Amino acid sequence: MKHRKFFVCALSGTFMLSVLLSLSLGSYRGVGAEELFKMLLGEPLTPVECAVLTRRSIRTLAAAVAGLGLGLSGAGLQYVLRNPLADPYLLGLASGAALGVLIGVLIGRCDPYSLFTLAFAGALATFFLVFALSMLAGMSALAVIVTGITVSYVVSAVNTVLVLALGEKVYGTFLWLFGSVAYALKERVIQSILLVSIAGCWLIIRSRAINTLILGEEVASSLGVNVKSIRTEVVVLSALATAGIVAFAGPIGFLGLAAPWVARLAVGSDFRRLVLMTMVSGPLISILSDVVARVMLTPQEVPLTAVTSVVGAPVLLYLMIRRRVWG
């Protein structure tokens, strides 16, 4: 228990540090920690410094929202689908959003508003297909997973054909297709915050019920929990939250899987504590990844997925191994 408390404190501390780091690091050298403290002390900044800091904070916010939403959705899905490897893209959202973007390029609607709307619509459409099929299949955990994966593959096949057919026109969307918050727009991030917080609040409210699922579906039912309805709720809400994120940042990989696991290794598998901890671990991983993504090859932008895996994997593996040692 003692090391768990230490872990919670360490993660929270690192989270705050990562925010400061994210605000003070970037490819524009003129704004660093010094200017950040100046701003915090209320000293006036030049308009350019102000603009750069604004942009960085939007980026940081975008990364945090993406980490939060994906982490929470991942945590919820891992419990209700009773599968430790579940992540939000299991529901076909990533390939659906990519389909929307590719259709946008195909019909020549490449402005950021159309692309956002099309990505969001594509993600939701694919999800509803998955949802309808899993309802037909009885809404069991297995049904959701199998239909999700199947639909994802079908949509990905269409995407591949589109990428080939679109040729060079698709080039400019690659950063989006690989996930990045470099071009996040403020309004879109704020809209996603709304969806993410609805999903988050619901998960917290229902965390007791979700927690019973650890014991197995029969036990949960015998404890008076409607397993099917809670599964439906969590699937729909996390899909909505993820669709919002995918639409502005693209499919950032590994976050939905790693964030709940880091949290779980810190606070144990009690969902009530885990959901709160995921709210720290998710944004932490994505903000740190984004810092690396922008600093690694500056001034080039690196897709976030490439970094989340590189940053997230060692943390997760380290924790696994340490935990095994602690037994």
Partner 1 sequence: MVNSKSIWTAIALLALFLVGVGAFIAKLAADYSKLSEDVSKSYKEIGEIREMMGDVSSAVDELNTIVKNELGRVVEKLDELTAAYSEHSQAISGIRTELINLTSELRTRVEELRREVESLKQESAKNEDLELLAGKLKEVEDRVKRIEEKLSKAASLEELKAVRRSLDEVKRSLVEVEKLLEFPATIVDAARSLVVIPSRPSRIVSLAPSATEILFAINASTQLVGVDTFSNYPPDVEEMKINGSLIDIGSGWYPNVEKIIGLNPDLVVGVESIVSHRTVKEILSRYGIPMLLLPDRTLEDVYKSIIIVGRATGHLKEALNVVNNLRSEITLLRSLVSNVSTRPRTALIVWLSPLWVTGNETWMHDLLVLAQGQNVFSNISGWSMVGPEALLEAQPEVVIFTAGDTGITNCSTVISTFRDVLGEAVNKIPAVANNRVYCVYEEYNDILVRPSPRVAKALKLLIALIHPEVLGLKPDEIPNDVKPETFELPKYEDLGVEQSIRLRHLAVITVKVHH
* Residues in contact with partner 1 by the rule CB under 8 A: 26-28, 30-31, 47-48, 51-52, 54-56, 59, 105, 110-113, 115, 164-165, 167-176, 182-183, 185-186, 294, 298-301
Quick one: tokens of 35?
């200017």
Shortest distance in whole angstroms from residue 47 CB to partner 1? 8
Cβ-based nearer residue to partner 1, 170 or 237: 170
32/26 Cα distance (integer angstroms): 8
Cβ-based nearer residue to partner 1, 165 or 223: 165
Shortest distance in whole angstroms from residue 284 CB to partner 1? 22
309/307 Cα distance (integer angstroms): 5
Shortest distance in whole angstroms from residue 270 CB to partner 1? 41
Shortest distance in whole angstroms from residue 91 CB to partner 1? 26
Shortest distance in whole angstroms from residue 141 CB to partner 1? 38
216/224 Cα distance (integer angstroms): 13
Shortest distance in whole angstroms from residue 286 CB to partner 1? 18
| Residue 224: CB atoms within 10 Å | 8
| Residue 94: CB atoms within 10 Å | 28
Cβ-based nearer residue to partner 1, 217 or 301: 301
Shortest distance in whole angstroms from residue 194 CB to partner 1? 20
Which of 15, 52, 61, 54 is CA-nearest to residue 190? 61
Cβ-based nearer residue to partner 1, 54 or 229: 54
Hey, what amino acid is at 178? F
Cβ-based nearer residue to partner 1, 26 or 260: 26
Q: What angle do CA 216, 82, 220 make, to 5 degrees?
A: 30
Shortest distance in whole angstroms from residue 83 CB to partner 1? 35
Cβ-based nearer residue to partner 1, 115 or 129: 115
ω into 299 cis (within 30 of 0): yes
CA distances from 213 to 67, 137, 293 (A): 24, 20, 37
Quick one: tokens of 266?
């810190």
Shortest distance in whole angstroms from residue 14 CB to partner 1? 23
How many residues are present in the chain? 327
278/272 Cα distance (integer angstroms): 10
Cβ-based nearer residue to partner 1, 37 or 174: 174
271/206 Cα distance (integer angstroms): 10
153/172 Cα distance (integer angstroms): 24
Cβ-based nearer residue to partner 1, 30 or 268: 30
Q: Which H helix or E strand runs over 250? A: none
Cβ-based nearer residue to partner 1, 77 or 247: 247
What is the four-CA torsion angle of 167, 171, 175, 176, rounded to 10 degrees?
A: -50
